[in-house]
Amino acid sequence: MSLTRYALRRLLLGVVQVVAVATLVFVLTEALPGDAAVVLAGDIPDEERISRLREALELDRPAVERWAGWLAGLAGGDLGGSLVSGRPVAGVLAAGLPPTLVLAGLTLLLLVPVSVGAGVAAAVWQGGLLDRVLTTVTVGLYAIPEFALGVVLVALFAVRLGWFPPTAVGAPANLLEQPALLVLPLVVLLARPVCSISRLVRAGMIDALGSGYVAHARRLGLSLWRVRLAHALPNALAPAAQQLARTADWLLGGVIVVESVFVIPGLGTLLNDSVAARDVPVIQALCVLFAATTVAANLAADLASYRLAPAAAGTR
């Protein structure tokens, strides 16, 4: 079976998966204690009030019926309205998407060269000082929770030194208009993935550098770095590509911590809020979006894996 056919089959499966995730999430939110009415009632959980709210939100209809209605709407491209504000869900999503896309896109753009670079450097000088320093720094950063890192960076570089704005409150809707805003969030977002990916690249690189084809490529007079980057590196990337896909997935799902520390209202905040509010239509729509990105990221990573191990792609 060719890779194209494989990809097509996976995409078809993906549609099924997305619907399955949406269903699963629907079931999960149904099973969550309390519904939007209870949450809306807040600290005056008067029973009559709750049942009125339930009526108003049409939560008194059977779950299956609501689910079917939602699915029918989805098929027609209608995501419904938010339970809490009544605004169309599509609009709510559209507002949260751009910041997430900007953050995720820029992070990924920087992540690949930085983490691959660090991994390659550590592998090339394996056991040397640079390797140890890189290991210590990346693993050390990894072991600091995002929150702490974010807050310390803001305290130092934004509040104390004033180099960057501390948060994005009052920033233009398009974050790219004010690039200084993005520096600290990107640093925080990069800290952990750089570690996990560069460690995997390093491990793969060390194996690849010791292989016969690398030695032979050097014999063939190819320059040292060309051999490392064009010959050893592709062989080292398969696990890192998977991790990269996970990271992309994580980033596109919105990163609650960074979003809240820097006040960037993206999809993560939206998910957090709508789960807190049990705003099922918004949760559902978000999960469809996330499931789609997950399926896409996984497919891309799997295709990359096969491209990076062509022999395995050929079997069966």
Name the residue nearer to other proteins (CB basis): 84 or 121.
84
Name the residue nearer to other proteins (CB basis): 109 or 230.
230
Nearest approach, Cβ of 276 to other proteins (angstroms)? 5
Reported in sequence order, the residue ranges of the chain that DSSP labels E, i.e. its strands, are none
Name the residue nearer to other proteins (CB basis): 28 or 176.
28
Nearest approach, Cβ of 79 to other proteins (angstroms)? 14
Nearest to 150 by CA among 139, 164, 137, 135: 164
Q: How far is CA 170 from CA 23, 184, 284, in A?
A: 37, 17, 29
Nearest approach, Cβ of 12 to other proteins (angstroms)? 11
Which residue type occupies 89? V
Structure token digits, residue 241: 């590509």
DSSP 38-85: HHHHTT---HHHHHHHHHHTTTTS-HHHHHHHHHHHHHTT---B-TTT
Q: Mutual orientation of helices 3-31 and 63-75 as an angle, nearest 10°?
A: 150
- 3-state SS, residue 170: coil
d(CA 71, CA 287): 13
Nearest approach, Cβ of 297 to other proteins (angstroms)? 9
Nearest approach, Cβ of 120 to other proteins (angstroms)? 12
Q: Is 171 left (phi over 0), alpha (psi -120 to 50) or beta?
A: beta
d(CA 104, CA 97): 10
User: What sign does the dihedral 68-69-71-72 (CA atoms) show?
Assistant: positive
Name the residue nearer to other proteins (CB basis): 49 or 112.
49
Name the residue nearer to other proteins (CB basis): 72 or 224.
224
Name the residue nearer to other proteins (CB basis): 106 or 282.
282
Nearest approach, Cβ of 103 to other proteins (angstroms)? 15
Name the residue nearer to other proteins (CB basis): 107 or 243.
243
Q: Mutual orientation of helices 89-124 and 129-143 as an angle, nearest 10°?
A: 150
Cβ–Cβ < 8 Å for 161, 184:
no
Nearest approach, Cβ of 269 to other proteins (angstroms)? 6
Nearest approach, Cβ of 64 to other proteins (angstroms)? 20
Name the residue nearer to other proteins (CB basis): 75 or 173.
173
Cβ–Cβ < 8 Å for 308, 235:
yes
